[in-house]
Amino acid sequence: MRLITFTDEQSTRIGILQEDQIVDLSAAAPDIPSEMVAFLEAGDAALEKARAAADTEASIKLSDVTLESPVLRPPKILAVGLNYREHVEETGRELPKVPIIFNKQSTSATGPFAPILRPHESVALDYEGEMGVVIGKRCRRVPKDRYAEVVAGYTVLNDVTIRDWQIRSPTMTMGKSWDSHCPMGPSIVTPDEVDISKLGLKTLVNGDVRQQSDTSYLIFDVPTLIEHLSTAFTLEPGDVIATGTCAGVAAAMEGQPWLKNGDVVRVEIESLGAIENKVVDDKGGVVIE
């Protein structure tokens, strides 16, 4: 299945994406939660009801809705740094001996086709196309050979980064967590539909290929990451793991071609789909609510 969160004139709710059509789970299986985290928390019973509903005739056109981030506000966004050898080399760093982990704040999550806000506090706006892992079960100390039991599915994301804010402090969180700087989607593809061992990944800016690799080049694979993270703390339904980016980021290119207003960034991952986000200058000011 390809699980989505979408908004139409009625509400925001979850569904199943079938090419250019949507099965509305609120109509096809009204007794399961209509919000993604609550749906995942409801466990295998809710998942089986959704699978049964997948055979229901799709009732909504994709073109009539707005696709949101599949998980509107993930409990945690846990990201991995320097997880492709070529990216390590372009940064001039040494290969990590253990996964390098940092947080992206949950408020950075945004939809697969929503704008990326370019803040006026920096010009050093960069892209990082990545495969995301969505956790489906509350878990702790998960051994590698049981990782599949806790994965709800996989998605496409862009670990958008403000480079000067990233490097000026000992941790990366401030450069990684700006609002709108974790677009993801278009769906959560359940593990039965995809083999993640060698998925092609490509990032394009205004149609020009900037990044191209595949998931077989991950230094620390998904089982290793889940074992490592869950050793320290509980993973929860709806948590997202950003598995790391490959070579080709703007920071490592000649002239450092940072993203600017009007640029369009597209991240494609084989079998998972694509997200595409336009860069828009953030003209917002003080907000106190």
Q: How many CB atoms lie within 10 A of CB 195?
A: 10
The 10s digit of each residue's pLDDT in 180-224 is 999 999 999 999 999 999 999 999 999 999 999 999 999 999 999
Q: Tell me, what's the pLDDT at 58?
A: 83
Query: What pLDDT tens digit does each residue of the chain (289 aa) get?
Result: 999 999 999 999 999 999 999 999 999 999 999 999 999 999 999 999 999 999 998 889 999 999 999 999 999 999 999 999 999 999 999 999 999 999 999 999 999 999 999 999 999 999 999 999 999 999 999 999 999 999 999 999 999 999 999 999 889 999 999 999 999 999 999 999 999 999 999 999 999 999 999 999 999 999 999 999 999 999 999 999 999 999 999 999 999 999 999 999 999 999 999 999 999 999 999 999 9
Q: Tell me, what's the pLDDT at 129?
A: 98
Q: Tell me, what's the pLDDT at 59?
A: 85
Q: Tell me, what's the pLDDT at 12?
A: 98
Compute the distance between CA of residue 25 and CA of residue 28 in angstroms, rounded to an integer: 5
| Chain position carrying tokens 């040494």 | 94
Predicted TM-score of the model (pTM)? 0.98
192 Cβ contact partners less than 8 Å away, ≥ 6 residues apart: none
In order of their start, the domains of the chain are 2-67 (2.30.30.230), 77-281 (3.90.850.10)
Contact between residue 161 and residue 183 where contact means Cβ atoms under 8 Å apart: no
Q: What is the 3-state secondary structure (H, E, C) of the chain?
A: CEEEEEECCCCEEEEEEECCEEEEHHHHCCCCCCCHHHHHHCHHHHHHHHHHHCCCCCCEEHHHCEECCCCCCCCCEEEEECCEHHHHHHHCCCCCCCCEEEEECHHHEECCCCCEEECCCCCCEECCEEEEEEECCCECCCCHHHHHHHEEEEEEEECCEEHHHHHCCCCCHHHHCCCCCEEEEEEEECHHHCCHHHCEEEEEECCEEEEEEEHHHECCCHHHHHHHHHHHCCECCCCEEECCCCCCCHHHCCCCCCCCCCCEEEEEECCCEEEEEEEEECCCCCCCC
Compute the distance between CA of residue 53 and CA of residue 57 in angstroms, rounded to an integer: 9
The 10s digit of each residue's pLDDT in 13-33 is 999 999 999 999 999 999 999
